Amino acid sequence: MVLKMNHPILEKAKLLESELTALRRDFHQHPELGFEEQRTAAIVADYLETLGLEVERNVAKTGVIGLLKGKEPGPTFALRADMDALPILDEKEVEYSSRNEGKMHACGHDAHTTILLGAAKLLTEQGIEKGNVKFVFQPAEEGQGGASAMIEGGALRNVDAIAGLHVNTGIDTGNITVSSERVGCGAADFFSLKIIGSGGHAAHPHMTVDSIAVAGQILTALQNISSRQVNPTDPIVVTVGSIHGGNASNVIAPIVEMTGTVRTLNPELRKKVPSMMKKIIKGTTEAFGATYDFDFQYKFPSILNDDALTELVVQTADDVLGEGHSSREKPGLGGEDFSFYTELVPAVFFRLGVGNDDMVRYPGHHPKFDIDEKALPYGSAMLAKVALNFLDKDLEGENR
């Protein structure tokens, strides 16, 4: 498909493509885990300062906040990007593959950071008549509470609304998707379970309580929550991600430990999950003579998209990308700690296409994950224009 790139802000963004690509590749070569993003944060802060923005460093340890003020006072619109990488070995054979062994930008946060820097440059060059734009560069999105830490550090101070994006290789470059529902992603909660049996010799199982056998029963039974205990139209995923027990082939293990995650869209169902799991675990362990230790942690709620802001993103996409390059899709069950911002101020989160048919579209968290770098200017243009449109519409009283 030939894309028409005739919107002024997209044309300006396209002129930044080589600069954005170089930035993204540098971040990709030097991935840093959550709350360790010292190098990344320094580059971000230095870049924002060269643009003439007010910059706060060391927010929530490694976060950065930049502020662009308009010519006159007005509302403040925030744009957020996450900066952290994952503890994954980069298996790509490219010149910009990770130089930090066992660490990799396998979820596109290097692209998010780059895209927001591009948006900052576009907005700085254009200027703002009234109001402000706050650029929030967040550490530790991958399960470590970076968003909450940034909020405690003042990221939402005086903020009227916020927007963010996530790259997606399943969507073609030049396109975006927004959630078809107010809920933008799944709630991501986590659990740990210890099954306590009684070990012994593998030749004499009748003299033991086999924790591995009990674990197998529980593992199977937990899947009945989604298949038999919940309305099929209500999405839920119960995943056991790790399981450890035993040290020798001829010994019945006394203890098995497992950890996992539960993903839901329905807040009411989310509240019921721990008791549903505990009922299965308690009944199974009692039946086989074992005991257990179960811990369930509510971690990340679902993103709640503001209806008016979602419409604003769609309208912006029609303007910047051209009609037909945005679509509404059902929310996925992937978690995103952007959700914490959405609980406090009107917010919107959308997915940016970074895939094409000439590449292998590896999903996020895959050791060969990569993106179409031609998508970077599209992301920068979209974020910049969403901010401008919010401030313009606010001047007309349309967001109040």
Whole-angstrom CA distances from 183 to 5, 212, 270, 306 are 31, 38, 13, 9
8 Å CB contact between 108 and 167: yes
Q: Which helix (H) or strand (E) holds 116?
A: helix 109-126
**Residue 102: left (phi > 0), alpha (psi -120 to 50), or beta?**
left
| 154 vs 157: CA distance, rounded Å | 5
Amino acid at position 228, single letter: R
Q: Which two tokens stand for residue 300?
A: 């990340």
> Is 307 known to be catalytic?
no
Q: Annotated catalytic residue: which of 82, 141, 336, 373? A: 141
The residues pairing with 84 across neighbouring beta strands, listed in sequence order, are: none
Q: Annotated catalytic residue: which of 32, 36, 82, 84? A: 84
| 191 vs 188: CA distance, rounded Å | 10
| 60 vs 36: CA distance, rounded Å | 11
Pair type for strands 255-264 and 236-245: antiparallel
Helix 376-395 × helix 307-320 angle, to 10° = 120
**DSSP reduced 3-state for 91:** coil
| 144 vs 33: CA distance, rounded Å | 10
Return all residues near 272 (Cβ < 8 A) that are at least 6 apart.
Answer: none
> Is 336 known to be catalytic?
no
Residues with catalytic annotation? 84, 141
